[in-house]
Structure 1
Amino acid sequence: MPNAGLAYTVLGRAAENERILDAVSNHLNSTPSGTVDVVVDDLAPLAVREGVDSAVTFVDGLLERGRGRAARIAIGCSFEASGELLSRAGARVDSVVGTEVAAAVERLSRDDPTTFGYVRRHWAEAKRGIEACDRNYPQSKQVHAALMEPETTPRTLGATLSGLVTLGALDTWGNTVGSTRYDLTAYRPDRTWAVGAALAATDSDD
């Protein structure tokens, strides 16, 4: 293909789903099976415009046309996408990644690999701790105390929470002296799901 192996078609912002799917089919029909990756850069605008069900139906149509022909199908979702969209789309395709979140995860991996490692291993436990904690501005040890049979320690959980702050899923409370307190009123669960999806994509690339 031209453009360093990238095939693209400009359909316009108002293109109907079926027209997009037909364009994908045309590209797949013109190449050997298993040689093309299909990537949708952002599914969230469709979900906002037409609803999550419509977006998932689009993904199903993409899978139907790509089955046995596409090497891999990946869906991008900006972090504003709902957790429902992320989970339902992610259950169908090879990967689903928040587009802006993926870049943030990559930056963390490059700039602070130690914290990235903690987030990569423990983000799901940190999410459970945040959601189980009944304090608005806890320290990491208080989030840790809310967990049942944690794999983390208060220190490693604190490093994970710090990484989630860097990734925009959480915030710190500034009016404190001493140990960091986290502002759970600013917790963003959908952003956290997108972080998890982006981390899963890095795992699959290893």
Structure 2
Amino acid sequence: MNGIARSGAVASTQVVPNNGLAYTVLGRDAESRRVLDAVDDHFDGVPSGTVDVVIDDVAPVAARDGVDAAVAFADQLLGRFEGRANRVAIGCTFEGSAELLSRLGDRVDALVGTDPVATAAVERLSRDDPTTFGYVRRHWVEAKRGIETCDRNYPQSKQVHAALTDPETTPRTLGATLSGLVTLGALETWGDTVGPTRYDLTAYRPERAWAVGAALEAGAPEE
């Protein structure tokens, strides 16, 4: 496994025959088109449906170039190799960008590797409270961003909403979403309050929120 190519250097292609693996090392800063062209080279002379394309992790692309760039790369990858590859698998770091996960989830046939406990909780919410489930499914990314942006420990939903820039939600729909996240174990309410519910952001569990989001994107049944 030699010949790591620096940016701008000649790419190094390696083949591991016993494992049926072929890869080309391009370097950390390779542009998307160069990556796609390198993958395409491995299809030369190969019957359709006999090669798997696996992206280990697309999250670094989002971290380096932004979510839009990572999604555009995924779109280009799927557009170029769907129908030619046996399958196209795109990895995404656990607890990476919620927006990236949501947007990729809209583009793929299946999302695998979700947490079974979170998946069961999402399915239970979809059965027991389909209205709240619908809000959570639609707005979980924005709710997660609001929770992580809000500088209050025990805010009402309108105060979480005020921390958002250009929100899609209203304070009411965000409140319904936050309530759903409480039910799903990602958040807690603060004590017994008179009036609007306050949320305990000190008890926020970002890893649980991400797992819930992954379960939602994996396609929990809609009511």
Letter in 2 for 1:127: V
Q: Which residue of 1 aligns with 2:103?
A: 88
Q: Does the aligned pair in 2 maintain the 1:37–1:70 contact within 8 Å? A: yes
Q: Does the aligned pair in 1 maintain the 2:82–2:88 contact within 8 Å? A: no
CA deviation profile, 1:27-62 (whole Å, cap 9, x unmatched): 233432112232212211111211122112211221
Letter in 1 for 2:98: S
CA deviation profile, 1:81-136 (whole Å, cap 9, x unmatched): 132x2233233333455xxxx37x26x59xxx9779748978946936996x96xx
Count of aligned residue pairs for this structure pair: 162
- In structure 2, stretches of 5+ residues that fail to align are 1-16, 144-155, 158-174, 193-198
Q: Does the aligned pair in 1 maintain the 2:55–2:91 contact within 8 Å? A: yes
- In structure 1, stretches of 5+ residues that fail to align are 135-145, 148-157, 177-182
Letter in 1 for 2:75: D
Structure with larger Rg: 2
| RMSD between superposed Cα atoms in Å | 4.4
For 1:134-173, what aligned pairs fall within 5 Å after superposition? Answer: 164-165=184-185, 170-171=186-187
Q: Which residue of 1 aligns with 2:92?
A: 77
Q: Which residue of 2 aligns with 1:63?
A: 78
Q: Which residue of 1 aligns with 2:216?
A: 196
In structure 2, the CA distance between the partners of 1:10 and 1:195, relative to structure 1 (3 Å rule), is farther
In structure 2, the CA distance between the partners of 1:196 and 1:8, relative to structure 1 (3 Å rule), is farther
C-alpha distance in 2 between matches for 1:40 and 1:93 = 13
Higher fraction of helix: 1
For 1:1-206, what aligned pairs fall within 5 Å after superposition? Answer: 2-3=18-19, 5-78=20-93, 79-83=95-99, 85-96=100-111, 102=113, 105=115, 108=117, 118=124, 124=133, 127=136, 164-165=184-185, 170-171=186-187, 185=201, 186=204, 188=206, 191=210, 192-197=212-217, 199-200=218-219
TM-score, length-scaled by structure 1: 0.54
